[in-house]
Amino acid sequence: MTISSLPGPKRDEVQAHRGASAVAPENTVAAFRAAAEQGAQWVELDVALSADGQLVVIHDGSVDRTSSGTGSLGALTREQIGALDAGTWFDPRFAGECIPSLAETIVALGELGLNANVEIKQHAHHQSLDQLVRAVQADIAKRSSSTRIMISSFDAAALKAMHALEPELEMAMLWGQVPEDWEQQLAAIPATTIHMHYKAVSIGLLEQMRERGIKVRAWTCNDPVQLVSFWDAGLTGVITDNPKVFLE
């Protein structure tokens, strides 16, 4: 049996994790472009505030792992972060790629015809939740009319604050494991979706969530065989470093 004959997600339910981060440096425009080239319609990207209160697209709390620079986001301005090389660490072919701001990324996604799952990261240097969610709101307001946005976070408070500002957007709670009080947590946001580590997805979980009308996507899975039994049981989507393996 070939991969393409296995059950799989709908084409618009394959989200490229940090862009197509298997083939291009994560959370860069190159990775988002690669996702579009692979046929993905959505990218997942991580956002956090710089020292001067601008949103940048980066996973870690420092620039050390994914750029030519060093230092925590709380010690670097947007301009300083944007001047770093965020491609060479991955492959010299990507030299000169930068850590984009969320505002720049929103423009690029419009040009690429991509939708975005914006994952809000909270770091110690953030002054307040209000500052963080208002910055997200201001940047996503600049999206093209064809760009769809959803919000995800490991932080329920961030989702609750974001929902209060943008009640029409899909809110997805990120979990590695389902907490005992999951239903109360989702209702308090309120969130309509959970994004679960793919190893914590089970038929039982999908049935339980389906009964309550809660959507489930699995992260970060790069092997379609791992999820094959879950699509018919109601799994909605997948977040993957390598969208093409779910789109072939």
List residues binding ligand G3P (CB under 6 A). 17, 44, 46, 59, 119, 152, 174, 195, 219-220, 239
Those residues whose C-beta lies under 8 Å from the C-beta of residue 140, and which sit 6 or more positions away, are: 102, 106, 116, 118, 149, 166
x-marked contacts with Mg ion along 109-148 as a string, rule CB under 5 A: ----------x-----------------------------
* 45 DSSP 8-state letter: E
Tell me whether residue 77 or residue 122 sits nearer to ligand G3P (CB atom): 122
φ, ψ (nearest 5 deg) of residue 55: -85, 130
What is the smallest separation between the CB atom of 216 and ligand G3P, expressed in angstroms? Answer: 13
Tell me whether residue 97 or residue 119 sits nearer to ligand G3P (CB atom): 119
Buried residues in 114-126 as b, exposed as e (16+ CB within 10 A): bbbbbbbbbeeeb
* Catalytic annotation present for 17: yes
What is the smallest separation between the CB atom of 55 and ligand G3P, expressed in angstroms? Answer: 15
Residues in contact with Mg ion, counted by CB under 5 A, come to a total of 2
Which residue's CB atom is positioned nearest to ligand G3P? 219
Cα–Cα separations (whole angstroms), residue 213 to 17, 59, 209, 216, 236: 25, 30, 6, 10, 12
**Whole-angstrom Cα distance, residue 114 to residue 36?**
7
Buried residues in 131-164 as b, exposed as e (16+ CB within 10 A): ebbebbeebbeebeeebebbbbbebbebbbbbbe
Tell me whether residue 29 or residue 150 sits nearer to ligand G3P (CB atom): 150
What is the smallest separation between the CB atom of 119 and Mg ion, expressed in angstroms? Answer: 4
> Which residues are bridge partners to 195 per DSSP?
174, 217
Q: Which of ligand G3P, Mg ion, none interacts with 33 (beta carbon under 5 to 8 A by kind)? A: none
C-beta of residue 166 within 8 angstroms of C-beta of residue 141: no
* Catalytic annotation present for 125: no
C-beta of residue 66 within 8 angstroms of C-beta of residue 30: no
Residue in 59, 123, 125, 197 annotated catalytic: 59
* 101 DSSP 8-state letter: B
What is the smallest separation between the CB atom of 232 and Mg ion, expressed in angstroms? Answer: 27
Cα–Cα separations (whole angstroms), residue 15 to 49, 72, 116, 191, 247: 23, 28, 8, 19, 11
> Which of 46, 97, 139, 155 is the binder for Mg ion (CB under 5 A)?
46
Which residue's CB atom is positioned nearest to Mg ion? 119
Tell me whether residue 1 or residue 124 sits nearer to ligand G3P (CB atom): 124
Stretch near Mg ion under the rule CB under 5 A, chosen from 33-41, 45-53, 102-110, 139-147: 45-53
What is the smallest separation between the CB atom of 84 and ligand G3P, expressed in angstroms? Answer: 20
Query: Catalytic residue numbers?
Result: 17, 59
**Which residues contact Mg ion by CB under 5 A?**
46, 119
